[in-house]
Amino acid sequence: MKNKMIVVTSGYERFVHWALAISCLTLCYTGLGIMYKELNFLGFIFGGLKGLATVHDIMAVVFAISLVLAIAMWWKEAGIFVFPEDWEWIKAAGGYLWHLDHVPETGKYNPGQKAFFLTVALCGLLMICTGIFMWYPQILPAGLMDWVYVLHVLGFVVIFAFFFVHLYLGTIGNPGSVSAMISGKMELPVLRMLHPKWVKEMEHEGKLIIADDKK
The per-residue pLDDT for 215 is 47
**Spatial separation of the C-alpha atoms in residues 5 and 212, rounded to whole Å:** 8
- For the chain, the residue count is 215
Phi, psi of 187 (to 5 degrees): -65, 140
Q: Given this model, what pLDDT does residue 213 score?
A: 58
Give residue 87's pLDDT.
92
Q: What are phi and psi of 92, to 5 degrees?
A: -90, 0
What's the farthest any 2 CA atoms get from each other in the chain? 67
DSSP state string for 162-193? HHHHHHHHTTTSSTT-GGGGTTSEEEHHHHHH
Domain ranges of the chain: 5-205
Please tell me the pTM assigned to this model: 0.88
Q: Name the architecture of domain 5-205.
A: Up-down Bundle (1.20)
Residue 168: per-residue pLDDT: 84
Distance CA 78, CA 59 (A): 25
Which residues of the chain register pLDDT less than 70? 1-2, 213-215
Q: Is the dihedral of CA 163, 164, 166, 170 positive or negative?
A: positive
Q: How far is CA 71 from the centre of its chain?
A: 10
Q: Output b/e per residue, 49-63; b: 16+ Cβ within 10 A.
A: beebbebbeebbebb
Residue range 7-48, pLDDT digits in tens: 999 999 999 999 999 999 999 999 999 988 899 999 999 999
